Structures are given as structure tokens and as C-alpha cells.
Amino acid sequence: MSEEERGAIVVRLDAKGCLVRLDEPIEGLPADGHELWCGVRGRIHLRDRRSQKSPVAVGDRVTVIHTQEDRGAVVSVHPRRSTLSRPSKRHGKVEHVMAANVDQVVIVSALDDPPFNPALVDRMLAVVEFSKLEAVIVVNKMDLGEVAFDEAMGYRTVFTSAVDGRGLDTLREHLTGKTSVVAGHSGVGKSSLLNAVQSGLGLAVGLVNKVTGRGRHTTTAAVWIPLVDGGAVIDTAGVREFGLFGIPARDLPWLFRDIAALAPECRYPDCSHTHEPECMVQEALLEGDLAPFRFDSYLKILESFEEQDG
């Protein structure tokens, strides 16, 4: 035990502290000496108490010291290059950083069981754009039927099945060498896909409730996992809904790629695309050049902003 400072990455959080993966192993610790449970020093706690759910997030780069046999302490959290955030469940003005220092968000939905939900995908895409991250759209459970589209708004789109194995090689290619956070509704198969992409992970997987059609929230907390071919993935707990944290209403038109591409031709530069004359978005809708479900998602978010403000 020494006060020597070591670099590490936060791989898991619980009420008492966080599990970190050390850059350099220490003999006698789990995972070939790489894993250490750490408390978080008071100074860090105080700093972010009001605005952030937790002072550290999964994926954070941290400096730690090894204080006891199997315990350590986080002494500093390095600046984040990116985050995927949502409002905290208890208090909407508090930021819950689901994952830090990621390159891309893998947005997983299921063709069925639970039913396909484009609105959730669109909300997550808006957050991805706002956060300046890349997106990969995954439609899982393709063994249950067929879809009528092959690509979505120019985002990389992968059709997978953890049961029959389709799409897994493509998904693995998209994951390799990058840090990805995997997110979506409970029960869509996030953990199943990761188990299928990398053998030996043994992530817990849960049945979807036959009556409600909902997942059972099997994954209860985010976990950072290194990939053998390079890169890492963060498996996350399924969300019921995905709130938009810190996004100003006026930014929304620019967070929908397909809508943003039409907006420069609208008569008004600040067109909300809801009622203005000579609106190219409205025109595209009439012509069938913009998917109606995308505009629906856009409107729903806009309305939810108005409820918040009014």
C-alpha cells in the first residue's frame, strides 16, 4: 500500500464507491491485478453534488491511490472528452452521466418483444447529435420478423439477432477500436448482443415479461468492458424513457439530421417547421420525402419542451 498515484478507468459504480480498472496491475488484486474498489475523496464529492448525480461516471479516467488490501480511493477525475447524459430520475435538473469518454452510442431496439419504438431511437439520436457523438443503430431480434427499411437517416444501421447470429460480425466491426455505450429499452437484447460479440463475458440476461411485453431491467448498472480486439463497450441498464438533458428548445431542429438538411431552404432561418409558411420540412412531408414518424418524434419532443417551460 502506498500513496503512489495510479491511472485507472471507472468500470462500475455502486452506492459506496466505484470499481476501477488500473492501467498497471497490482499483484493480488482481482482481474489479474487490474481491479480495485475505490471510495471517492470528499473534495470531489462536494464539487459536483448539486449538478451531477454522481461525482464519477462509468468511463471516467481517474487518478487513484491504493489505501488498503483491497481498497483504494479516487483522488481526481480527469476532464471528460465526451458524455452521454440524461436527467436524473429523482431530480430533472441534475445530470446523470450514463457514460463518459465514449466515441459512439449504439442505440439498440428490438424488432419486437418489446415492440419497436422509433420515438425512443429518435430521442437518443437527438442526444447523440447534441453530444457530438457518433451513432450506430441496431435493430435486434431479426429472427422474429422483417423490417421495411434498410438504412436510417444515413446512420450506420445493423440488423442483428443474438439467436441466429446475423449481423454480429458487422456489429463487432463497428465496435472494434472504439469506445461505445450500448443503450436502449430494457429487454431489447443489449447484454445478449455483447455476450454474442465477445465470448466469455457472461453478462446477465433476463426474459421479457410475457404479459406486459417489457424487459425486467436485468442490467441494473452500467459496466465498462474492454474488447479483446481493441476498444471497449459500456453495457447500460435499460431505460423506460430517455429525457433530453440540457438541450435548449431552439437547438432541436438541428439535432434531427434529415430535418436540419431541409431547414436552410425554409423561408425563416429560425423556422420551427410547425406552422411557418414556405417551410421545406412541411413540403417534404407532403411529398413523402421525410418520414412521418421522424416528424412525429420531433413534434413530441418540442411539445415536451413547451410543457417544461410553460
Positions in the binding site for ligand GTP (CB under 6 A): 140-141, 143-144, 161-163, 186-192, 205-208, 215-219, 237-238
Min CB(52)–Mg ion separation in Å: 24
Residue 266 binding result from ligand GTP, Mg ion, Zn ion, none, given CB thresholds of 5 to 8 Å by partner type: Zn ion
Min CB(23)–Mg ion separation in Å: 27
Q: Considering only the stretches 34-42, 155-163, 260-268, 294-302, report the one whose residues sit in contact with Zn ion under the rule CB under 5 A.
A: 260-268
User: Which residues, 6+ apart, have CB-to-CB distance to 128 below 8 Å?
Assistant: 84, 105, 107, 134, 135
Q: Considering only the stretches 25-33, 47-55, 218-226, 269-277, report the one whose residues sit in contact with Zn ion under the rule CB under 5 A.
A: 269-277
Cβ–Cβ < 8 Å for 113, 161: no
Q: Based on CB atoms, which residue is closest to ligand GTP, 68 or 199?
A: 199
Min CB(172)–ligand GTP separation in Å: 15
Min CB(243)–ligand GTP separation in Å: 17
CA distance 18 to 201: 20
Our finding on whether 107 is near Zn ion (CB under 5 A) is no
CA distance 84 to 67: 31
Our finding on whether 191 is near Mg ion (CB under 5 A) is yes
Q: Considering only the stretches 55-63, 96-104, 119-127, 219-227, report the one whose residues sit in contact with Mg ion under the rule CB under 5 A.
A: 219-227
Q: Based on CB atoms, which residue is closest to ligand GTP, 109 or 282?
A: 109
First-to-last alpha carbon distance for the chain, in angstroms, is 56
Give the sign of the dihedral formed by CA 120, CA 125, CA 130, CA 134. positive
Q: Based on CB atoms, which residue is closest to ligand GTP, 72 or 187?
A: 187
DSSP codes joined into one string, 210-228:
TTT--------S-EEEE-T
Min CB(274)–Zn ion separation in Å: 8
Our finding on whether 273 is near Zn ion (CB under 5 A) is yes
CA-nearest of 74, 16, 258, 77 to 152 is 258
81 φ/ψ angles, rounded to the nearest 5 degrees:
-85, -20
* C-alpha cell recorded at residue 203: 453478462
CA-nearest of 84, 53, 65 to 6 is 65
Q: Which amino acid belongs to residue 22?
A: L
Query: Which residues contribute to the site for Mg ion (CB under 5 A)?
Result: 190-191, 218-219
